[in-house]
Amino acid sequence: MKKLTKHLSIAALSLPLLLSSYNGSKVSAAANLKPQSEQTALPMNVYPAAQPSWGYFVDTYKNNNSANMTVDSNPTIGVLSEFNKLWAPGPTWDTGTKLNSAVLDANIQKVLDITSSRTSSQEDAAYFDERRGQSYSVIDGLGSLTDVYRENAGATTTINSIPADAGTVVYNDGGTDAGLTNSNLGNIVNLVKTLRGNYSSTTPAKNYYSYMRPFRWTSPDIVVPSIRSSIDPDPSKNGGFPSGHTNAAYLASLAMAYAIPERYQEMLTRASELGNNRIVAGMHSTLDVIGGRVMATALAASILSDPANEDLKKAAYDEAQTKLLTQTGTAVDRFADYAKNKQDFTQRLTYGFDQINSSTKPMVVPKGAEVLLETRLPYLDSTQRRWVLATTGLPSGYPVLDDPEGWGRLNLFAAADGYGAFVQDVTVAMDASKGGFNAFDHWRNDISGTGKLTKKGTGTLMLQGQNTYTGGTVIDQGILEGDTETAFGSGDIVNNGGTLKENVSGKLVIGGNYTQSNQGTLELTLDSPNDQVDIEGKATINGKLRLDFSDNNVPANELTLINYDKNELKGKFSSIEAVGLPSQYNVKVIYKSNKIQLKVIKK
């Protein structure tokens, strides 16, 4: 009831869970990566992984500087050190050694595949993401509010077109990037600048790994013509791994996503697009881009977790809620398609690489990572957010992603859609008076597990996945809405005093017994004769039945509202409320041995 260049072959080239309580051909497969919750059952709990040699990233992130140039001393080099299993850096830019030629050759081949099929519009987008400030570029992840933000933040660029001589002349952006700190949105600007601050450079890691950019493994001809002027003539200062543009894009996007969580997944998608455009440009490889994302994720969590930034991040969030989201924008939203965003972002997490290591390692959630969901899932506590990260993470085994702390396996897009599994009982308390996601949210993941969901508080939570959790559901307060046939898994449902709302095109299945107290409400959305609730066990009912007639729909015949086992009904609804029905009609509810029916009668 649901209201170039010619294709080149790499073969022809000869150039060398454990949680902390602390605060290409493979593309289609990658786009459907199963999260940790859908892998073979693995242990998860609330204790941290062992501290790595560089220390927990959130405690040591300020050691990311050129004075620290080893895995043990620099957390950024450390978090990316899975790359050392693929590549042994040499003393100079061109003397490294491939340790896994299959993966590294595939890495460059993926670039050749992408660059050989790019379109002119993709080349233009790659140029703008190359030459504009990355913080400015990702602003359009805000969709219709893009122009509102730029105007109120004073965010500008001087790269507004592609000059005819761009291939030979480098044009640098003279704009303000994220904007001005003394602007109307100065706290958001300051948060972006802080995340992209003194400790966020990719230079130490680039210099340590000394891994060449793809055009040095192949030919400068793979680089977009308008970008070739940007190639640094000194290869020793032009390393590829990790991608600096990608790192910067994710840092800016995660800062904006924290302040404006209403655009959380869209901002992540924009960052991933900018990273992908570095591959389209021929300037970076897929592993370069993956490394930039992993590094930025760890840095963003570390800086947001730093007590010194507590006031700033709160001010940025409050500013967005009161000064930005209250306005109406008119910009085109390039990221309005959720399904496409999810597909693109998910594919770019691994770029279709095979799992080269064990695929059954338990999920590890890094210390402090829960801050990345602090504003997106504000009604959960820090431990619950860690469970969300654990149950939505990537499986193990992919190149570069199995760092000991777990940064590489986080899937923040999926985490923004709520739990992937109820490993334990979960209580959600939402306070609608706080607004935003405290008042209304939806979980779109397919939730498995043996835990029970209890809904408390005045807010509304929508379940939109194909859920299989077995622990049952309790509604004490507020609204819990099911938007798919199996939204409530396969257990019993007990409605003690909230509203269980059905909003499915077709039937909603309650996989066990349904019990509703005199304080509870069952709300059914009626817009077709096929809309009904199937209770696979006993029905014990009291309280209110609310019927929502979509678009003043008046059924011509009797409708079956609820099915249950024969002779397994106890009680009746104490009141019936019809919403959206023309005033000249009344409703009559008919109780039968195995079903409850509805008849609409004209007065």
pLDDT digits (tens, 9 = 90+) for 304-333: 999 999 999 999 999 999 999 999 999 999
What is the predicted pLDDT for the residue at 411?
98
pTM greater than the 0.85 cutoff: yes
Average pLDDT over residues 519-542: 94
For β-strands 595-602 and 585-591, DSSP reports them as: antiparallel
Collapsing DSSP to helix, strand or coil, 428 comes out as: strand
* Cβ-contact 188, 138 below 8 angstroms: no
Average pLDDT over residues 284-293: 98
CA 52 – CA 238 distance, rounded (Å): 29
104-113, 426-435, 554-563: segment of lowest average pLDDT: 554-563
Q: Is the pLDDT of residue 210 over 60?
A: yes
Residue 222 half-sphere exposure toward CB, CA atoms < 13 A = 28
Q: What is the CA radius of gyration of the chain?
A: 27
Q: Which residues pair with 574 in a beta bridge?
A: none
Give the closest residue to 428 by CA, choosing from 477, 472, 386, 391: 477
For β-strands 539-540 and 97-98, DSSP reports them as: unpaired
What is the predicted pLDDT for the residue at 557?
82
Architecture category of domain 17-409 in CATH: Up-down Bundle (1.20)
> Residue 4's pLDDT band (boundaries 50, 70, 90)?
very low
Average pLDDT over residues 432-445: 97
Residues 6+ apart with CB under 8 A from 164: none
> Residue 236's pLDDT band (boundaries 50, 70, 90)?
confident
Report CA dihedral (276, 30, 489, 37) to the nearest 10 degrees: -90
Q: Is the pLDDT of residue 153 over 80?
A: yes
* Cβ-contact 568, 592 below 8 angstroms: no
CA 248 – CA 245 distance, rounded (Å): 5
Tokens at 542, concatenated: 């009291």
- What is the share, in percent, of the chain residues with pLDDT greater than 90? 86
What is the predicted pLDDT for the residue at 584?
87
Distances (CA, A) of 481 to 174, 423, 504: 49, 21, 10
Give the closest residue to 162 by CA, choosing from 227, 255, 105: 227
CA 437 – CA 459 distance, rounded (Å): 8
For β-strands 559-563 and 595-602, DSSP reports them as: antiparallel
What is the predicted pLDDT for the residue at 10?
36
Kindly report the backbone phi and psi dihedral angles of residue 101, in degrees, each rounded to the nearest multiple of 5, phi listed first: -65, -35
Helices assigned H by DSSP within 55-182: 57-60, 75-79, 101-116, 120-131, 134-137, 146-153
**Average pLDDT for the chain:** 92
Which pLDDT tens digit goes with each residue over 493-503?
A: 999 999 999 99
Encoded amino acid at 528, one letter: S
Which pLDDT tens digit goes with each residue over 322-362?
A: 999 999 999 999 999 999 999 999 999 999 999 999 999 99
514-540 in b/e form (b: 16+ CB < 10 A) is: bbbbeebbbbbbbbeeebbbebebbbb
Average pLDDT over residues 189-198: 98
Average pLDDT over residues 415-431: 97
> Which secondary-structure segment (H or E) carries 385?
helix 382-392
Tokens at 181, concatenated: 């700190």
What is the predicted pLDDT for the residue at 238?
85
Which pLDDT tens digit goes with each residue over 15-52?
A: 334 443 333 333 334 445 776 665 544 455 546 689 99
* Cβ-contact 524, 555 below 8 angstroms: no
Question: Mapped to the 3 state alphabet, what secondary structure does 494-561 carry?
Answer: EECCCEEEECCCCEEEECCCEEECCCCEEEEEECCCCCEEEECCCEECCCEEEEEEHHHCCCCCCEEE
Collapsing DSSP to helix, strand or coil, 475 comes out as: strand
The ranges assigned to domains in the chain are: 17-409, 421-602
Report CA dihedral (221, 244, 271, 268) to the nearest 10 degrees: 140
